Amino acid sequence: MSPDKIPPSASPNMENICYADGAIPTKRFGASRVTATSWGPTPIRGAFEFYIIGSSVPIFLVAHGGKIYSYNETLDTKADLCTGTVLGATDAPTTFFQVRDKCFILTGTEYLYYDGTNPIATVQSIAYVPTIVLTKKPDGTGGLPNEKFNHLSDKWKESFDGNGAATEYIITKQLLPDGLTPITLSTNLFKAYIYEVEMIEGAGFTFNRTTWKATFAVAPATGIDNVQIQLEADALMDQTLITKCDKAVEFGGKNNSVVFISGNPSYPNVARYCWFFDPTYWPQDQDISVGNDARAITGWGRMNDYLVTYKQPGDEFVQWYSALDLDSVGVMVVSTNGLNDEFGCIAHRTVRPAQNGLLALSDRGVVWTWSSLIKGQANCKIISQGVNGKNGIAKGILDNTKADLALAHAEISGNKYLLHIKDKVWVLDLEYSDLANNVYCWYPYTGIFAKAGIFFVRDTVLYIGDKVDGLMYRGNQAEDANLWLDDGVAIDAWWTSPLMFLGGRNWIKKFSRIRLTFKVGAGNQHILTFITDQGPEDIVLTQEAGFFSASFFDAEFFNAGVENADYPSTQPEKIGYKGSYFSFRIRNIQPNRGLTMLAVEIDYSLLKKIK
């Protein structure tokens, strides 16, 4: 916005300054290197904390360079987990999620899992084998439909009631889409189970792939569903429907019992969901087409009992809501309805919860969606007008290209929404924002934050994965020694006041003195810039440190010291300018020095009215 139209609490030009301790302008903390040396010239693609059941110490997983590693931060060592049947993964943005005792990994090409002990493997290798029919008779008649085929598996079972006499069991032939031609059965050995005791084809039974008939050496005993025969066909299912997905969200209405995935470029508007608590089983009919076929699903978020699905702008509805229920026979049912037709999402990694709603980057800025009192409806509004730019005054969010906006990602850390776009992070400070009442506190970060390819919060601490190099950084904490360094580099931080017409626009004033009160700092040096009608002027300020207190002197033990309390220092400076307006900028670029401005006082007098 024009600097003369913003409120006194705002700034027309600030960088690497946050608000703290009651909305006080404060130089942000930096970040320190976690990995001492680079893992290689490719980005960090993803990170995750995998909690093994029974262990209080999670495994820190990192995706980099086509590998998945476990990383020991204390020792700064990594272990390659791709040492078994899977020797690598696609070097692409990687999605992790955990269900029960396994961590699942989507790369957009592979669907992998890690159990905390064995090397990473494909989920297909442990995919659930569905039993598609129950209580069949040995002659192949009767039976009740049961489970659906699994998208991830070319195997299935049929379950029979043994009668104590029959040795031949007839399988129902599965046909190609033409409805006439049987599918081609695999030459791999089939299995059978009698009372759950496994048999291998050729040892206890044989199978005729022409007649689809199993023959047991000994007739199975009488029982209900006591005989299962497991078969396999060549390329029965298109497993890429699952493996080419790159987005995932856990949802289940009032719990997170189901995983939804999407992102397959051949089916951009299709979401598929697994069986309860089992991401190895993706039933054949458990998918939903959300809106226009050509408009991709671009993000998900949970809001109350709903799963909110975002679409690309241009769809009839660009936000949808889904609810998950069970029908009368226990079959999962997902109902999906239009929610909002105005604000979609263009970067799926920007959807994050905030103040009982959801934040997402749309083609018109950051949109906040929150619940309506009317079921099935939601309220939506743009909350980034102040930093959207595209107004000829200053560059903002929407001055980036569509390609850069599509690569944006965000995280919530320290009650801040950190939105990374290209070479800047736009921070929505939720501590001082009231989204429902149109109070939005935004400010930009550069420096090490601009290097973020991913954000990851680990035990409340923000981690930053480099977007071009195999390096990882950790946000500095109050107890750290190098608070105001970005990987050893000084942070350039400044705050500029609004354009102030103190006493009216139509008066010439004489600006005589400014008094700046800073939080205590040991020899901090700042650059103070005056901005008036007569132009800018820079002044270097050396901030007073603490103060000596005689109460710290002890003659008996011969010690003395400086009281380490926050003792503010006030720096008065002459201005000596005349003009209709006044503004000032305070800047700190000193290595490992802070800047916290507590108060400002400006002395001026009215000279004459402007004719």
pLDDT digits (tens, 9 = 90+) for 476-496: 998 888 999 999 999 999 999
Percent of the chain scoring above 70 in pLDDT: 94
| Fold classification of 492-609 (topology level) | Jelly Rolls (2.60.120)
CA distances 285 to 248, 344, 540, Å, are 18, 27, 70
CA 593 to chain centre: 32
Q: In the predicted model, what is the mean pLDDT of the chain? A: 92
pLDDT digits (tens, 9 = 90+) for 563-585: 445 567 788 999 988 999 999 99
- Banded model confidence at residue 552, pLDDT cuts 50, 70, 90: very low
Cβ-in-10-Å burial (0-12, 13-18, 19+) of 168 comes to middle
| Res. 165: pLDDT tops 70 | yes
For 399, other C-beta atoms within 10 Å of its C-beta total 14
Q: What per-residue confidence (pLDDT) applies to 547? A: 47
Q: What is the number of other CB atoms lying within 10 angstroms of the CB of residue 34?
A: 18
> Coil, strand, or helix at residue 170?
strand
First to last CA, the chain: 28
Q: What is the predicted pLDDT for the residue at 558?
A: 53
Query: Which of 242-251, 273-282, 555-564 is predicted least confidently?
Result: 555-564
Token couple for 407? 């690569």
Tokens 């409805």 identify what position?
179
Q: Average pLDDT, stretch 589-598?
A: 93
Res. 253 pLDDT band, cuts 50 70 90: low
Lowest mean pLDDT among 292-296, 390-394, 395-399: 390-394
- Mean pLDDT within 1-18: 86
Residue 97 confidence (pLDDT): 96
Give the pTM: 0.92
Give exposure, 119-155, as e/b (b: 16+ Cβ within 10 Å): ebbbbbeebbbbebbbebebebeebeeebbbbbbbbb
CA atoms in the 13 A half-sphere facing the CB of 124: 18
- Could you say which DSSP state residue 436 is in? G
**pLDDT digits 0-9 by tens, 265-285:** 999 999 999 999 999 999 998
> Which residues are within 8 A (CB) of 195 and not within 5 positions of it... i.e. 6 or more apart?
221, 223, 226
The three-state secondary structure class of 302 is strand
Q: What is the pLDDT of residue 328?
A: 66
pLDDT digits (tens, 9 = 90+) for 348-394: 999 999 999 999 999 999 999 998 766 667 899 999 999 999 887 78
Range 531-540 contact pairs with CB under 8 angstroms and sequence separation of 24 or more = 531/496, 531/499, 531/582, 531/583, 531/584, 531/585, 532/577, 532/578, 532/579, 532/581, 532/582, 532/583, 533/577, 533/578, 533/579, 533/580, 533/581, 534/577, 534/578, 534/579, 537/577, 539/573
Q: How confident is the model at residue 8 (pLDDT cuts 50, 70, 90)?
A: confident
> CA torsion, points 272, 276, 279, 285, in degrees to nearest 10?
-30
Contact, 279 vs 317, CB < 8 A?
A: no
